[in-house]
């Protein structure tokens, strides 16, 4: 069966899909390998309103037919759904627990971390990755991150998160090797927060 899309006004994806997605994939790997370090993306696709270039680039690179995507209310427009389906072929799901990737445009109103799939003992890799838009990666409350990929500790100052986020993160980190992973997206940059990273004030 062939799916039909209304592509009027559809934002373009990568100008060179193979080369650009490979570049962004390396950026994402670096962000996960070196948690808390800001990774600037060299490739910027077009994106519908409300979707940052970094979030769009991550979605175009990592999401496909096998990665159900959940969007929050800030990204619930038909334009965003059409963009994801056309460029990535993703199934868009209605519930956070059904998603392998969650795209969150309004961090303050996001669901609690426990609402997302944390994987299970046989398949910890089946957990969700949350891509969260934030207003700044440098101007929020300072937290000390420690764990794999961080020599000793790293001070990170992500802005715009809900008050409960770091308490929920401590519970999530305690589930390791289960738990969700997070990519914070701001403009055309990302910061990775894998599930094994401990965060303290």
The confidence score (pLDDT) of residue 135 equals: 98
pLDDT over 60 (residue 148) = yes
* Least confident segment among 40-44, 98-102, 175-179: 40-44
The confidence score (pLDDT) of residue 6 equals: 53
* % of the chain surpassing 90 pLDDT: 84
The confidence score (pLDDT) of residue 9 equals: 58
Q: What is the mean pLDDT of residues 148-169?
A: 97
pLDDT band per the 50, 70, 90 thresholds, residue 178 = very high
- Quick one: 17-200 is in which CATH superfamily? Bacterial phosphonate metabolism protein PhnH (3.40.50.11310)
DSSP string, 31-84: HHHSTT--EE-S------TT--HHHHHHHHHH--TTS-EEE-GGG-SHHHHHHH
pLDDT over 70 (residue 115) = yes
Q: What is the mean pLDDT of residues 39-59?
A: 92
The confidence score (pLDDT) of residue 108 equals: 97
Q: What is the mean pLDDT of residues 92-114?
A: 97
Q: What is the mean pLDDT of residues 74-83?
A: 94
pLDDT over 90 (residue 84) = yes
Q: What is the mean pLDDT of residues 158-174?
A: 98
pLDDT band per the 50, 70, 90 thresholds, residue 2 = very low
DSSP string, the chain: -PPP---TTPPP--SSHHHHHHHHHHHHHHHHHSTT--EE-S------TT--HHHHHHHHHH--TTS-EEE-GGG-SHHHHHHHHHHH-PPEESSGGG-SEEEES-GGGPPPGGGS----SS-GGGS-EEEEE-S-SSSS--EEEEETTEEEEEEE---S--TTHHHHHHHHHTTTTSS-EEEEEETTEEEEE-TT-EEE-
Q: What is the mean pLDDT of residues 170-186?
A: 97
What is the per-residue pLDDT across 117-139, written as a single tens digit (0 to 9) for each?
Answer: 999 999 898 999 999 999 999 99
Q: What is the mean pLDDT of residues 74-97?
A: 94
Q: How far is Cα of residue 89 from the mean position of the Cα atoms in its chain?
A: 17
pLDDT over 60 (residue 5) = no
* Residue boundaries of the structural domains of the chain: 17-200
CB-CB contact of 187 with 136 (8 Å): no
């Amino acid at each position: 069966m062939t799916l039909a899309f209304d592509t009027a006004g559809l934002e373009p994806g990568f100008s060179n899909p193979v080369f650009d997605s490979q570049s962004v994939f390396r950026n994402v790997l670096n962000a996960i390998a070196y948690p808390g370090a800001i990774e600037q993306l060299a490739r910027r696709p077009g994106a519908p309103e409300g979707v940052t270039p970094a979030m769009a680039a991550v979605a175009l690179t990592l999401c496909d037919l096998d990665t159900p995507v959940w969007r929050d209310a800030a990204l619930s427009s038909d334009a965003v759904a059409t963009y994801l389906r056309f460029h990535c072929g993703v199934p868009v799901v209605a519930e956070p627990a059904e998603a392998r990737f969650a795209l969150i445009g309004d961090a303050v109103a996001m669901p609690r971390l426990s609402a997302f799939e944390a994987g299970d003992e046989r398949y910890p890799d089946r957990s969700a990755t949350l891509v969260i838009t934030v207003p700044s990666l440098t101007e929020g409350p300072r937290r000390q991150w420690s764990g794999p990929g961080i020599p000793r500790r790293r001070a990170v100052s992500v802005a715009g998160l809900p008050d409960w986020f770091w308490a929920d993160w401590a519970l999530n980190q305690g589930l390791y090797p289960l738990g969700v992973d997070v990519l914070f997206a701001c403009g055309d940059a990302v910061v990775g927060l894998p599930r094994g990273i401990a965060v303290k004030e």
